[in-house]
A and B are shown apart, each in its own frame.
Chain A
Amino acid sequence: MDENNTLIKVRNLKFARNSRMIFDGVDLDIQRGKITVIMGPSGTGKTTLLRLIGRQIKPLIGTIEVDGEEVTNMGHRRLYELRKRMGMLFQNGALLTDLSVFENVAYPLREHTNLSDELIRTLVLLKLQAVGLRGARDLMPAELSGGMSRRVALARAIALDPMMIMYDEPFTGQDPISMGVLVRLIRNLNDALGLTSIVVSHDIEEASSIADYIYLLSGGKVVAGGTAEDLANSDSEWAQQFMKGRPDGPVPFHFQADSYASDLKIG
């Protein structure tokens, strides 16, 4: 990995929730201009990692550097300045339900700039055109399908031309057409706008198809990392189990329990 081209550096990250260790010493680097996919079984804290990078929550110990700035102890004002350069796409879109599609995309522009209404209109239409929903500008969020909501949220996330976008499970619950649209959009926007993308997903096929680099998380650690090809050909049991969808392996099928026989009171 190219150290100089690293946008995000995570070192020795530890985080616990309700005395359960979610991350136990995670180290990873996100390269500028690339799409990095974070994969792992459900409950491994993939979404939590995005929240830690955006400093919505704080780690127990460890450092997270974004564009050369340490975020874990950053002051409120500097954090909010940094967030203007970060976009995040939430799993359900998280559109503001009392605003129309147009106003949702215009929201960050109205909050953070003094642009005229005319200019805001032009910018919003440009962003909506990029996600193919210029015609849906007058609809309310309740009138959108799940895939459309995510595309509007994507338009909103790129409204301030951020340096990076974090995608939280963008493919979950999508029909094949919406899934294809989102996959293409993530790749195209990343390349066209020179973004850095972090995609959290467990949809192996779709995520692999656009990933420049993949990290595999499990048990609170990074268990494998590399390109999709590297992981598919890896000797790592973790990588093999996850990439091939095997029900048992390093990630056990059974949740930790007493012996089956003693539980059934036999023998």
Chain B
Amino acid sequence: MLDYLQSIGHKGLNFFQRLGRGHILILDIIRGVVSVISRPSLLIQQLYSVGVLSLIIIVVSGFFVGMVMGLQGYNTLVDFGAEESLGVMVALSLVRELGPVVTALLFAGRAGSALTAEIGLMKATEQLSAMEMMAVDPVRRVLAPRFFAGLLSMPLLASMFSAVGVLGGYFVGVGLLGVDDGAYWSQMQASVDLYDDVYNGVIKSIVFGFVVTWIAVFEGYDAIPTSEGVSRATTRTVVHSSLAVLGLDFILTALMFN
């Protein structure tokens, strides 16, 4: 019994220590914004590997999600004779929820895991230590550009996901199922509000970008420098960031849309 209590205490202490290290790291990273601005080439390089290389999975997924939305939405709406509202349904679902959330989940799997593995392996092969000994701060040189690249990429990727999704819904709804072309776009235009829907979706994706990239770079930097340690850290990145995205989505939705 005492051992059990002791192990709970130990786990609790570990949790709070990690939480503390995570917060100290994010403050250091945010302080590194100056070095990122002064050397934009570092950021551009990371925007390419974190953002551009994630584009294909985001675009393809967005298109398929949009097509499924078109199909499911049509089947439901047609019963009420409201199939002309398909555009509104697809657009609102994507812009408010699916765009930011699914993009964040895909981003965690594609870019988040890659960031953790890359930083963890740099630690395991002493590349980060070597940088420190060359008087180069790895937090500013390695972590900060990756973090800000993730933060900037996420809203752009989520926007593309939603845009392509709307086209996917159009392809199925208008192209295959015969919904009126004009109604699809005009109802969407009339009902989707720039501030309430689009901006709130963008805010969500910025928050998700912050959290997912923070978890990814922290897990890599805090990984035990062995093969197993890096592998565990990579898994933790995907699991923790997915849970964080879904939990935060509920909170943000409650705050934004009552």
Q: Which residues of A contact B (CB under 8 A)?
A: 51, 54, 56, 80-81, 83-84, 86-88, 90-92, 94-97, 107-108, 111-112, 153, 156, 160
Residue contact B132 to A83, C-beta cutoff 8 Å:
yes
Task: Give, as a whole number of angstroms, the nearest-CB distance from A251 to chain B.
Answer: 27
Tell me the bound Cα distance from A153 to B133 in angstroms.
12
8 tightest A-B contacts by CB? A94-B130, A94-B126, A83-B135, A88-B133, A80-B135, A84-B135, A108-B134, A90-B126
Tell me the bound Cα distance from A249 to B133 in angstroms.
37
Residue contact B136 to A108, C-beta cutoff 8 Å:
yes
Residues of A within 8 A of B132 (CB): 54, 56, 83
Residue contact A94 to B127, C-beta cutoff 8 Å:
yes
Task: Give, as a whole number of angstroms, the nearest-CB distance from A115 to chain B.
Answer: 16
Residue contact B130 to A88, C-beta cutoff 8 Å:
yes
Q: Is the interface of A mostly helix, strand, loop or mixed?
A: mixed
Tell me the bound Cα distance from A107 to B141 in angstroms.
12
Partner of A80, one of B125, B126, B129, B137: B137
Tell me the bound Cα distance from A153 to B134 in angstroms.
11
Residue contact B126 to A83, C-beta cutoff 8 Å:
no
Residues of A within 8 A of B141 (CB): 111
A-B interface contact total, Cβ < 8 Å: 50
Residue contact B135 to A94, C-beta cutoff 8 Å:
no
Identity of the chain B residue whose Cβ is nearest the Cβ of A79 in the assembled complex: B135
Residue contact A107 to B133, C-beta cutoff 8 Å:
no
Tell me the bound Cα distance from A108 to B132 in angstroms.
11
Identity of the chain A residue whose Cβ is nearest the Cβ of B132 in the assembled complex: A56
Residue contact A107 to B134, C-beta cutoff 8 Å:
yes
Identity of the chain A residue whose Cβ is nearest the Cβ of B121 in the assembled complex: A97
Identity of the chain A residue whose Cβ is nearest the Cβ of B137 in the assembled complex: A80
Task: Give, as a whole number of angstroms, the nearest-CB distance from B146 to chain A.
Answer: 13
Residues of A within 8 A of B130 (CB): 88, 90, 94-96, 153
Residues of B within 8 A of A107 (CB): 134, 136
Residues of B within 8 A of A81 (CB): 135
Q: Which of B129, B131, B134, B136 has the most A CB atoms < 10 Å from its CB?
A: B134
Tell me the bound Cα distance from A96 to B126 in angstroms.
9
Residues of B within 8 A of A54 (CB): 132-133
Residues of B within 8 A of A97 (CB): 125, 127
Residue contact A111 to B126, C-beta cutoff 8 Å:
no
Residues of A within 8 A of B133 (CB): 54, 56, 83, 86-88
Interface string of B104-147 (1 = CB under 8 A from A): 00000000000000000000011101111111110001000000
Residues of B within 8 A of A156 (CB): 134
Residues of B within 8 A of A80 (CB): 135, 137
Tell me the bound Cα distance from A86 to B130 in angstroms.
11
